[in-house]
Amino acid sequence: MVAEAADAAPLRTRALGCVRGYRRLFESLEITLQPGEVLLVEGANGAGKTSLLRLLCGLALPTEGEVYWHGEPLPRCRLEFQQSLLYLGHTPGVKLELSPRENLRFLAALHGLSVNPQQLDDILDTVGLYGFETVPARALSAGQRRRIALARLWFAEQALWVLDEPFTAIDRAGVARLEARLMEHAARGGMAVLTSHQALQLTPAPRRLAL
């Protein structure tokens, strides 16, 4: 796809502003995201990174401004937008009573993706959960629970990934695999918005947004 005008960008915000309590976190934020781009949102704790990510995926409504998906304001094209969206929040959405395999099977079905058992085992192997497929997530470590949620990135067909601190509690080898996966996603024309406090090794270097 050719990136010509900002209008053609799949994800675009116009004069986005957010007020939390009596504090203005940010205002008149203009973000455009083209296919193949990765946007790294940076800022101190409490700068509004999570708030921005929640606005971008439509979980929260902006105090001012609007978010557009393919030129349509967000609340109006919710289902189409959510079909192309993968969101990983602070809380990973993993059920502690269920095993990694059960968790993933549910999340895939919820997002309308069909994954066969072989694929599922391969993905669990990739994220380093081989041997833990049937253990309830309650018995796993924080990093392993996080990996269950991150495993979704390997069967995701969604074009837009919104990842809030995806690298928390992940070991170094895991971070490297995730970086590789992110670059692969971008190379296929996918988009990603993420926050991270770690220095990332991404080529090409991601665009940065400081809050």
| CA–CA dist 28, 30 (Å, integer) | 6
Q: Which is nearer to another protein, 96 or 176 (CB)?
A: 96
Please, what is the minimum distance in Å from the beta carbon of residue 193 to another protein? 14
Please, what is the minimum distance in Å from the beta carbon of residue 210 to another protein? 25
Crossing angle (nearest 10°) for helices 117-126 and 100-110: 120
What distance lies between CA 184 and its chain's CA centroid?
A: 15
Q: Which is nearer to another protein, 14 or 105 (CB)?
A: 105
Please, what is the minimum distance in Å from the beta carbon of residue 109 to another protein? 4
Please, what is the minimum distance in Å from the beta carbon of residue 194 to another protein? 16
Q: Which is nearer to another protein, 73 or 204 (CB)?
A: 73
Cβ atoms of 167 and 178 within 8 Å: the answer is: yes
Q: Which is nearer to another protein, 6 or 109 (CB)?
A: 109
Q: Where are the beta strands (DSSP E) in 155-206?
A: 160-164, 191-195
Question: What does the binding site for another protein look like in residue numbers (CB under 8 A)?
Answer: 57-61, 79, 82-83, 85, 87, 89-98, 102, 105-107, 109-112, 136
Q: What stretch of H or E contains 29?
A: strand 23-29
